[in-house]
Amino acid sequence: MGTFSLIFVHLLELIAAIFGTFYIFKYREDKSTRYFTYFLWLTVFVETVGLIPNIIQSVESFGHLKETFWNQNFWLYNTYLILSFLFYLNYVKMNLKSSKLKKVLMIFFLIYGLSTIVNLVFSKVLFEAYSAYSFVVGSILLFFSIGLYYYEILQSNAILNFSRSIPFYFSVGTLVFHLCVTPLFIYSRYYSNRTSPEFVEVYALILTIANIFMYTCYIIGFLICSKKNKSYS
């Protein structure tokens, strides 16, 4: 992403986290929304730390850090990637009613967590590239878990107020983002600025638009859903 796009997306992440914070402090809500807001703040933190390599490259006085692990952020985002998909699975699980479906997601949660850690430990990907295994497998499990959530909603009266719940906006934003980005992420391993600058440009554009859509969904969700709840006061 370009500098302007990067700053704009970071700003949306921060706004979503702030809106989430106001929401959970001012209105009654279950634990899942609190964890969702904590996750948004974690995202803001990770994205801020992730800017360090760019700062090292552009500021001369930080030149001595070019030979350290701070000069790249693969280790940071590979760790965040695992944590984010584990959060997604757990968040959906918390919003399911069926104990059977919850058990299924818990099994996926454990398998994904263990397998991704093993993959990072026994491969060289942690400090050298973004883990395709973590992203692709995590996306597949995310699609499946949100599908279970939609299936359960369709089987109940909750569908009548579906568009006035935080999980609805979470599911739409997160699902669309990964549906758009995952196929391109898979192919990005075979292209670079040197071999196909057009693909890299399209990938960056779609990634930016997908991020904007996702965080806008989160922000709108907090705004709309805050109107239906009663204040603590």
In a domain, 231, yes or no: no
In a domain, 150, yes or no: yes
Confidence of residue 231 (pLDDT cuts 50, 70, 90): very low
In a domain, 110, yes or no: yes
Domain hosting 17: range is 3-226
In a domain, 30, yes or no: yes
**pLDDT, tens only, 75-122:** 999 999 999 999 999 999 999 999 999 999 999 999 999 999 999 999
In a domain, 127, yes or no: yes
If we measure between CA atoms, which residue out of 84, 74, 72 comes closest to residue 44? 84
In a domain, 233, yes or no: no
This model's pTM is above 0.85: yes
The pLDDT of residue 186: 86
The pLDDT of residue 198: 83
What total of structural domains would you count in the chain?
1
Confidence of residue 1 (pLDDT cuts 50, 70, 90): low
In a domain, 207, yes or no: yes
In a domain, 232, yes or no: no
**Percentage of residues in the chain with pLDDT exceeding 70?**
85
pLDDT at 14 over 90: yes
DSSP assignment string, the chain? --HHHHHHHHHHHHHHHHHHHHHHHHB---HHHHHHHHHHHHHHHHHHHTTHHHHHHH-GGGGGGGGSGGG--HHHHHHHHHHHHHHHHHHHHHT---HHHHHHHHHHHHHHHHHHHHHHHHSSGGGTS--HHHHHHHHHHHHHHHHHHHHHHHTSGGGGGGGGSHHHHHHHHHHHHHHHHHHHHHHHTT--TTT-HHHHHHHHHHHHHHHHHHHHHHHHHHHHHHTTSPB--
